[in-house]
């Protein structure tokens, strides 16, 4: 298949590489001029879209997605699929889907979970929103880049699933880090806390699969000085998207709002920028009750 790929950063680069390794012809474009082994670097968005059956985007936010879509969509071949794997606001995802439909294109919003490691290993989870036709066309490619794909509904549903998932993740990571910090001050060994919680009612993905305490549980960014697998500023972005969506539909999400406030404080006013989102643990461990 001939594929255009726009956005070759920490996530998009390895995703494009995996498609190329699987034998697809991938034309990649990035404003930073990034090159990826096996991917044919092109000079413009139009060059990435030329004759492509599928164009995949991995971009920082909804505003950039809309701008890129405005340039890409008019030059894409009729019947081609635009698949956006960025994490953006639901409104932007739906606006791009409507623009695609008006130009005779199929579209899918398919944000991912799994971080940089998942992108490199081809083990991402995709949450997809769009037509059954677009989903069927994209599934073989998503299966190369990931291990699980869920069709969540119509346009925007993939983004909705992603922000709901990450609102849970942000809140549970905070609770897990608070528990470790409390255990330290009470005098409970971290490994004993992990042994109990990981097999009890307090277990969660944050505890069992991404343990925020170094030397405890499975290997995680905590064991690498909190170098980001999923950066705190990206969690902050997703929590902001969750609360933007909550306001738009008048949903009461107090835990999500509290998580947003804590990550904003951590990233913008403390030392969280550039650290993994699990670095909330040393943050809580260093603070006293106010």
Q: Which residues are tagged catalytic?
A: 162
Residue of 176, 166, 218, 170 lying closest to 197 (CA atoms): 176
**Which of 261, 265, 266 has its CA nearest to residue 278?**
266
Where is 149: in which H helix or E strand? strand 146-153
Contact 86, 60 (CB under 8 A): yes
φ/ψ of residue 113, rounded to 5: -130, 145
CA-nearest of 218, 238, 217 to 87 is 238
Is the separation of the CB atoms in 259 and 171 below 8 Å?
yes
Sign of CA dihedral 134, 18, 31, 88: positive
**Nearest-angstrom CA–CA distance, 99 and 192:** 54
CB count within 10 Å of CB 214 equals 18
* CA–CA separation, 48 and 16 (whole Å): 12
Q: Angle of helix 62-72 relative to helix 90-102, nearest 10 degrees? A: 10
166 near 242, Cβ under 8 Å? yes
Q: How far apart are CA 168 and CA 48, in angstroms?
A: 36
- Which contacts of 201-209 are long-range, i.e. CB under 8 A and separated by 24 or more positions? 204/172, 204/175, 204/176, 205/169, 205/172, 206/169, 206/172, 206/173, 206/175, 206/176, 206/278, 207/176
């Amino acid at each position: 298949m001939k594929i255009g790929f726009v956005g070759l950063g920490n996530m998009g680069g390895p995703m494009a590489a995996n498609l190329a390794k699987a034998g697809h012809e991938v034309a990649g474009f990035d404003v930073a001029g990034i090159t990826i082994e096996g991917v044919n670097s092109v000079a413009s968005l139009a060059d990435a879209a030329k004759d492509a059956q599928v164009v995949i985007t991995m971009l920082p936010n909804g505003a950039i997605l809309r701008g890129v879509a405005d340039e890409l969509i008019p030059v894409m071949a009729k019947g081609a699929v635009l698949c956006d794997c960025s994490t953006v606001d639901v409104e932007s995802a739906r606006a791009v889907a409507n623009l695609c439909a008006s130009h005779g294109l199929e579209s899918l919003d398919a944000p991912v979970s799994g971080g940089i490691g998942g992108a490199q290993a081809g083990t991402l989870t995709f949450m997809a929103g769009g037509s059954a036709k677009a989903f069927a066309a994209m599934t073989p490619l998503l299966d190369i880049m990931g291990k699980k794909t869920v069709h969540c509904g119509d346009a925007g549903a993939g983004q909705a699933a992603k922000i709901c998932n990450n609102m849970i993740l942000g809140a549970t990571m905070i609770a897990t880090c608070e528990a470790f910090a409390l255990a330290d001050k009470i005098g409970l060994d971290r490994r004993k806390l992990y042994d109990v919680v990981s097999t009890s009612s307090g277990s969660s993905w944050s505890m069992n699969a991404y343990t925020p305490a170094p030397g405890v549980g499975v290997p995680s960014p905590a064991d690498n000085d909190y170098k980001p697998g999923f950066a705190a500023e990206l969690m902050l972005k997703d929590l902001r998207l969750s609360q933007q969506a909550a306001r738009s539909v008048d949903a009461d999400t107090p835990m999500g709002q509290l998580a947003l406030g804590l990550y904003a404080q951590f990233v913008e006013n403390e030392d969280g920028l550039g650290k993994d989102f699990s670095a909330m643990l040393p943050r809580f461990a260093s603070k006293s009750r106010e």
